[in-house]
Structure 1
C-alpha cells in the first residue's frame, strides 16, 4: 500500500477567467472546488491508476468535512487526524494564459495534535511499502517535523518521496535519514545550496554533485515544459517531453509525483517511471479538473518522451 501525507491540506478553488481585471468585479461562470493540498492531488492520481493508496492529513472544521466528502465520493481511501482549527482554502485564478494564486496559510496545530497524527501514521505504516510526503507544514509544526516522519519510515525500511521546499526541505536533506527521492526545481536547488541561481544544465549537474545531495538516491529536478533533469546515484539523465496545449497546470507537479511514487511501488526501472511521471503531469495539465488524468492518452504521450543519459 502507498500512504500519502498532506500536513496542510486545502480546498482548492479554481476560477477560470478570460481576462482578470484589477480593482473591479470579475465574474466566473464555472468555479471548481476540490479536495486539495499536494498530497491529496497525488492520492487522486494514484487512485486513477488503480494503485492501492490511503491518504492521511490534518483536517478541521466544515472545510475539513468537505474534503472527506469529496474524497469519499471518488472512492479514495483515507485516514485523517482531526485538529481544532479550520482547514484552509487555496484559490487559483486562471487568466490570460497565466495563473495567479492566493494561498491561505492555514490552521495552527498544537503539539498534542502532532503527537496524535504521529501515532495514527505509525499504524498506517504497518501496511505501507511507499510513503509520499507533499507540501508545506502547518503553523505550529517545527521546521524539521518531516525528519520525524523520515525516521519512522526508515525504521520500517519504507522509501520516502518528499516534495516540499524551503526550510523543511533543507532540514530533510541534511538529516541522517534522508528521503529516497526529492523533486525540487532549479530555483529550489539553488536555494538549498545558497547560490544566486542556476541558469543551464551544466551548472545544474555540477550543483547536484554537491555533498548535500550525495546520499539521496534519486533527485528529479522539474524543468517545466522542458521536462526534467535527474540525478540517480552517480548517473544523470535529461527527460524531454513533447509540447502540449495547457488547460490547467494546477496539480501537474503533484501528478508527476504520483507517477514517481507509482513507479517505485511497482519496482519499475528508473527510466520507465520517469516517463510515467512526465506523462501524468502532462495529462493533468490538459484537464480542467485538478488532479485528473485522461489515461486514454497515456500511451501516445509515453512514446514521445525521451530519457537520455548525460555524461
Structure 2
C-alpha cells in the first residue's frame, strides 16, 4: 500500500467571476469545493489507477471534517492526526482567463503536535510499501521536519518520493538520509542552487551533478509541455510528450508523482515507469478537475510518450 502524506491540506474553493470587480460586490453562481493539497491529489489519482493508497497528514476543525467527508465520498481511505485548530481554505478567483489566488497559511502546530505527527507516521509504516510526501509544511514545524520523516522511512527500508520545494527540500538534501526520489522543476533547482538552470539537458545535468543530489535514486526534473529530464542513478533520460489540449494543468505534477509511485509498486522497468508518470501528468492536464484522470485514454497517450537515454 502507498501512503500519501499531506501535512497542510485545504479545502480548495474556485469562484468563477466574470467580470471581477475590485472594491465592489461580486456575486458567484458557479462554485466548486474540493479536498485540496498536493498529497490528496496524489491519493486521488492512485485510487483512479486501481492501486491501494492511504491518505494521511494533519486536519482540524470543521474544515478538516469536510475534507474527510469528501475523501470518503471518493472512496479514498484516510487517517489523519486530528488537532483542535482549524484547517485552511485556499480560494481561486477565475476571471477573464486569469486566476487570482487567496491562500490561507493554515494552523500553526505545536512541538507536541509535531511529535505526535511523527509518532503516527511511524505507526502507519507497518503496513506501507511506499511513501509520497507532497507540499509545504504547516507553520510551527521546523524546516527539517521532512528530514525526520525520511530518516524514519529509510530505517524501515521504505522508499520515499518527496515533492516539496524551498527550505524544506534543501534541508532534506543536505542530510545524510536521502529520499528515494524527488521531482523539482528548473525554477526550484535554480533557487536552491543559486545558479541559472534552464530546460536545456546540459544545464540540468550539470545541476544534478552537485554533491547535494548524491544518494538519490531518481530525480525527475519536470519541464511542463517540454516533458522532463530524469536522472536514474548514473543514467540520464529525456522524456518528450505530445502537444495537448490543456484544460487545467493544476495538479499535473501531483498526478505525475502518483503515476511514478504506482509504477514503482508494480516493479515496472525504467522506461515503463517514466512513461506511466508522464502519462498520468498529461491526463490530469486534460481534465477540469484537479487530481483527476481518464484511464480510458491512458494507453493512447502512454504510446505517445518518448523516452530517450542521454549519453
Same fold (TM over 0.5): yes
Change (3 A) 1:22 1:307: farther
1:9 aligns with 2:14: no
Write the distance in 2 (CA, Å) between the matches of 1:14 and 1:60.
21
1:121 aligns with 2:140: no
Indicate conservation of the 8 Å contact 1:32/1:289, yes or no: no
Query: Matched residue of 2:73: which SS?
Result: helix
Deviations 1:45-83 (A, max 9, x none): 101111110010100000000001000111111111011
Indicate conservation of the 8 Å contact 2:6/2:56, yes or no: yes
Indicate conservation of the 8 Å contact 2:199/2:223, yes or no: no
Structure 2 gap ranges (5+)? none
Write the distance in 1 (CA, Å) between the matches of 2:25 and 2:197.
38
1:90 aligns with 2:90: yes
Deviations 1:133-166 (A, max 9, x none): 0000000000000011011101110000000000
Deviations 1:72-99 (A, max 9, x none): 1111111110112110111223444444
Query: Matched residue of 2:152: which SS?
Result: helix
Deviation at 1:16, TM superposition (A): 4.0
Aligned counterparts, 1:87-236, within 5 A: 87-198=87-198, 200-236=200-236
Change (3 A) 1:19 1:53: same
Query: Matched residue of 2:90: which SS?
Result: strand
Change (3 A) 1:308 1:63: same
What residue is the counterpart of 1:275 in the other structure? 275
Write the distance in 2 (CA, Å) between the matches of 1:7 and 1:96.
33
Query: Matched residue of 2:176: which SS?
Result: coil
Structure 1 gap ranges (5+)? none
Deviations 1:80-130 (A, max 9, x none): 101121101112234444443322111101111111121211121001110
Write the distance in 2 (CA, Å) between the matches of 1:29 and 1:131.
39
Aligned counterparts, 1:221-260, within 5 A: 221-260=221-260
Deviation at 1:22, TM superposition (A): 4.6
Deviation at 1:273, TM superposition (A): 1.6
What residue is the counterpart of 2:55 in the other structure? 55
Write the distance in 1 (CA, Å) between the matches of 2:269 and 2:214.
21
Indicate conservation of the 8 Å contact 2:197/2:204, yes or no: no
Deviations 1:224-276 (A, max 9, x none): 11111111111111111111111112211111110111111111112212111
